[in-house]
Amino acid sequence: MMNDIVEKIIAGDVRTVARLIRDIDDGMPKVREVLKALYPHTGNAYVIGITGAPGVGKSTLVDQMVAHLRKRDKTVGVLAVDPTSPFSGGAILGDRVRMQRHSMDQGVFIRSLATRGHFGGLTQSTRSAIDVLDAMGKDYILVETVGVGQDEVDVVRSAHTTVIVVIPGMGDDIQAIKAGILEIGDIFLINKADREGSDKTLSDLRLMIDMDQKKHDRGAWKPPILKVQAVFDKGVAEFIDEIDRHAKYLVETSGGLDFRESKAKVRQELEEMIKARLIEEVIDRLAESGEFDRAVESVVKGKIDPYTACENLVLPTLS
């Protein structure tokens, strides 16, 4: 049964892949064995993370990237992450609207993911989904997220190439990102570059990135800033060339593109996994036994403080 699933995924069976990604997202324990078996078949795809504020044109850009990569005879997987409503737990996943022209292309697999209320598990589940697309044989995997929240930043950060998308006139937003995601960008794009203020945005960005580079040693790679108009497919080919250049840089400086050979990446991934697994195991047990609800009750009634309640809950499960 499990071997069957693994074989189908390696053969690129769309339905099996789609179902496995849902099982990962839903935290089904049965996926663990499948992921273990798939691991030897991963490590071949080139992963690109794309992030930026809502409305900067990420999905349109991804759509054009898919078209260009397909022209170069590469197969592509897309993971488009959209936020879950904190009130209802539901989500509208609308990134496909911009990419539907690729839906009949057998060389393209597009999947929408919701952030859900993961306890820091988004990074973990997205990474597992990347592994699945990798194992199914996709040459490139594009991961698109709204760049808010540490989880979503972590997701794109774990890519080979991290792309930050902004639009002209986002002065305040650049202020906001300079403390957070400016450091993680390998390539910066100013989309909708025909709009007023693109030159100023370019020089602002250049300044901040240069300052940032002086602070942190990021090697010889100087993040390029490109002006594009994704909707008209202007500048996208040049952007893909920059991705190639970055890939070459990675190969030259670290000797390869396989994450599994990088100690830093493995450390980061293993950390994430331990975190996700611990939380899953502990919270599950507490929820099932009813201890969690009882503790909530006690804190509300003033019988106990939350610090002590937390200790009482966590320490016994670890011993």
Partner 1 sequence: MRQKRRVRVMVAKPGLDGHDRGARIIARAYRDAGFEVVYTGLHQTPEEIVEAAIQEDVDMIGLSSLAGAHKYLFPAVIELLRERAADDIVVCGGGIIPDDDIKKLKESGVKEVFTPGTPLDDIVKWVEHNVTPRQD
Contact between 88 and partner 1 (CB under 8 A)? yes
Q: How far apart are the first and last CA of the chain?
A: 36
Q: Please pick, from the candidates 9, 65, 76, 114, the single residue that binds partner 1 as defined by CB under 8 A.
A: 114
The three-class DSSP label of residue 240 is helix
Structure letter (DSSP) for residue 225? E
CB of 8 to partner 1, least distance (A): 13
Residue 49, CA atoms < 13 Å, CB-side half-sphere: 26
If the CB atoms of residues 8 and 157 are measured against partner 1, the closer one turns out to be: 8
If the CB atoms of residues 81 and 225 are measured against partner 1, the closer one turns out to be: 81
Residue pair 243/257 in contact by the 8 Å Cβ criterion: no
Contact between 291 and partner 1 (CB under 8 A)? no
CB of 126 to partner 1, least distance (A): 14
If the CB atoms of residues 25 and 186 are measured against partner 1, the closer one turns out to be: 25
Contact between 93 and partner 1 (CB under 8 A)? yes
The three-class DSSP label of residue 111 is strand
Contact between 283 and partner 1 (CB under 8 A)? yes
Q: Please pick, from the candidates 103, 150, 289, 308, the single residue that binds partner 1 as defined by CB under 8 A.
A: 103
C-alpha closest to that of 16 among 8, 28, 24 = 8
Give CA separation, 115 vs 3, 153, 154, in Å. 30, 12, 13
**Tokens 């910066």 -> residue:** 188
Question: Long-range contacts of range 257-264, CB-CB < 8 Å, 24 or more positions apart?
Answer: 257/46, 257/160, 258/43, 259/43, 259/158, 260/43
Contact between 1 and partner 1 (CB under 8 A)? no
Contact between 112 and partner 1 (CB under 8 A)? yes
Residue 246, CA atoms < 13 Å, CB-side half-sphere: 22
Size of the site for partner 1 (CB under 8 A): 37
Range 242-281, binding partner 1 (CB under 8 A): 280
Contact between 25 and partner 1 (CB under 8 A)? yes
Structure letter (DSSP) for residue 75? -
If the CB atoms of residues 103 and 150 are measured against partner 1, the closer one turns out to be: 103
Applying CB under 8 A, which part among 66-74, 171-179, 219-227, 283-291 lies near partner 1?
283-291
Residues in touch with partner 1 (CB under 8 A): 14-15, 18-19, 21-22, 25-27, 84-85, 87-94, 96-98, 100, 103-104, 109-112, 114, 116, 118-119, 280, 283-284, 287
